[in-house]
């Protein structure tokens, strides 16, 4: 496979995942704004932080208003991580690697793009927001479904999956980075109602409320949430899950390549040294420091994959 094609696949799926994650963050932000009367517009700051675009937003807006924040995250083309920008970038990469995709995947991607362009052509009113977000997530899910249902399990698939899980791990880590203080052990055994809302926000922003309740019941607190998001190997958005997936994809690629790449070594180290202990070890290390470390290692891993597989000259 061409290095350029591997690169295109990797980024196509990173952007698809990003579109979905940003849509989910908007949903979460909106949900809090609706359920907390005292919140005002302040809840949108951490949402923008989690989306990694608070600074850029600040360059264009003097104040943080809800409408402006939603518009920025949803459809602002100057925000490279907005849902619209991400879907456009995914589709642009899909065009670049058109020959590597099945007809079904390409059509699903192209129709996701066409629909996003249509429904995001104008500002989306509050009333339409839930259905617009729903449609967008359905559209990107269709691409994922077609990917699973029609693509050969070969190196094309491996690069697509690595893009997905690197972006997802990065997203989960950024949410933890912004909200880590909510999860720190507190002297009180039971959290305040404010804490409860914050915890719920975290779980919502990684679509994990249902799974968490199923696993831990209603009474569990921050320690379990942290463990769920970082170490749980069954939770499809946890760091441990994503990193394991990346390791597996790299292992699939290995036989075709003459020597094990450096990325394989790096992912093994990342998993072994940081994701095989229990949550107490993470708290001992310092939750914030741990999350920062994860973000660094993930970005380093991404760069190593690019180098190992000759994404660029």
Partner 1 sequence: MNFDEMWGGDDRIRRPYQKFHDWFDTEEPARLRAKQREAEELFRLTGITFNVYGRAEAEERLIPFDIVPRIISDREWNRLTKGIEQRVRAINAFLHDVYHRQEIIKAGRIPKDMISRNAAFEPKMIGVTPPGGVYTHIVGVDLVRTGPDDFYVLEDNVRTPSGVSYMLENRETMLQMFPELFARNKVKGVQGYPTDLRRSLADCAPSGAAGSPVVAVLTPGIYNSAYYEHAFLADQMGVELVEGHDLRVMGGRVAMRTTQGYKPIDVLYRRVDDEFLDPLNFNPDSQLGVPGIMDVYRAGGITIANAPGTGIADDKAIYSYMPEIVEFYTGERPILQNVQTWRCSDPDSLAYVLDNLADLVVKEVHGSGGYGMLIGPTATKRDLAAFRRKLQARPGHYIAQPTLSLSTVPIFSKQGLTPRHVDLRPFVLVSPNRITVTPGGLTRVALQKGSLVVNSSQGGGTKDTWVLED
Binding site for partner 1 (CB under 8 A): 1-6, 92, 95-96, 98-99, 106-107, 110-111, 114, 155, 253, 256-258, 309-310, 313
Name residues whose C-beta falls within 8 Å of residue 120's C-beta, 6 or more positions apart in sequence.
74, 75, 83, 84, 132
Nearest one of 163, 128, 12, 63 to 72, comparing CA atoms: 63
Closest contact distance (angstroms) between CB of 5 and partner 1 is 8
Nearer to partner 1, 1 or 151 (CB): 1
| CB closer to partner 1, 5 vs 86 | 5
CB 107 to partner 1: min, Å:
5
Q: Which is nearer to partner 1, 49 or 93 (CB)?
A: 93
Query: Taking a C-beta distance cutoff of 8 angstroms, is the pair 252, 152 a contact?
Result: no
CA distances 77 to 117, 167, 199, 256, 258, Å, are 11, 20, 31, 39, 42
The residue among 141 and 292 lying less far from partner 1, judged by its C-beta, is 141
Looking at the Cβ atoms of 96 and 197, the one nearer to partner 1 is 96
51: tokens are 């989306």
User: Between 112 and 270, whose beta carbon lies closer to partner 1?
Assistant: 112
Contact (Cβ atoms closer than 8 angstroms) between residue 87 and residue 140: yes
Q: Which C-beta is closer to partner 1: that of 85 or that of 172? A: 85
- Is 42 in contact with 120 (CB distance < 8 Å)? no
Q: Is 102 exposed, middle or buried (0-12, 13-18, 19+ CB in 10 A)?
A: middle
Per-residue burial over 128-149, b = 16 or more CB atoms within 10 Å of its CB, e = otherwise: eeeebbebbbebbebbbebbee
CA-CA-CA-CA torsion sign (224, 229, 232, 234) = positive
> Rounded to the nearest whole angstrom, what is the least distance from the CB of residue 153 to partner 1 in the complex?
16
């Amino acid at each position: 496979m061409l290095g350029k094609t591997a690169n295109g696949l990797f980024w196509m799926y990173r952007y698809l995942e990003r579109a979905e994650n940003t849509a989910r963050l908007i949903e979460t932000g909106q949900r809090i704004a609706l359920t907390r009367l005292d919140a005002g517009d302040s809840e949108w700051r951490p949402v923008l932080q989690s989306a990694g675009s608070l600074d850029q937003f600040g360059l264009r807006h003097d104040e943080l208003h809800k409408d402006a924040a939603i518009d920025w995250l949803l459809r602002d083309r100057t925000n490279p991580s907005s849902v619209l920008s991400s879907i456009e970038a995914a589709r642009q990469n899909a065009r670049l690697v058109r020959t590597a995709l099945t007809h079904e995947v390409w059509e699903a991607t192209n129709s996701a793009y066409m629909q996003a362009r249509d429904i995001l052509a104008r500002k989306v009113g509050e009333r339409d927001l839930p259905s617009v977000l729903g449609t967008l997530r359905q559209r990107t899910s269709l691409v994922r479904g077609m990917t699973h249902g029609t693509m050969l399990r070969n190196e094309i698939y491996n690069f697509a999956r690595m893009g997905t899980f690197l972006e997802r791990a990065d997203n989960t880590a950024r949410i933890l980075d912004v909200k880590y203080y909510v999860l720190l052990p507190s002297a009180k055994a039971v959290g305040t109602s404010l804490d409860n809302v914050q915890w719920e926000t975290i779980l919502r922003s990684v679509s994990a409320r249902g799974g968490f309740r199923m696993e831990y019941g209603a009474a569990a607190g921050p320690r379990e949430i942290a463990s769920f998001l970082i170490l749980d190997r069954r939770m499809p958005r946890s760091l441990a899950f994503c990193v394991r997936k990346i390791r597996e994809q790299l292992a699939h690629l290995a036989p075709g390549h003459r020597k094990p790449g450096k990325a394989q070594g790096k992912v093994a180290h990342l998993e072994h040294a940081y994701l095989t202990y229990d949550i107490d070890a993470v708290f001992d290390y310092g939750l914030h420091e741990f999350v920062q470390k994860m973000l660094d290692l993930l970005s380093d891993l991404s760069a190593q994959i690019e180098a190992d597989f000759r994404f660029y000259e």
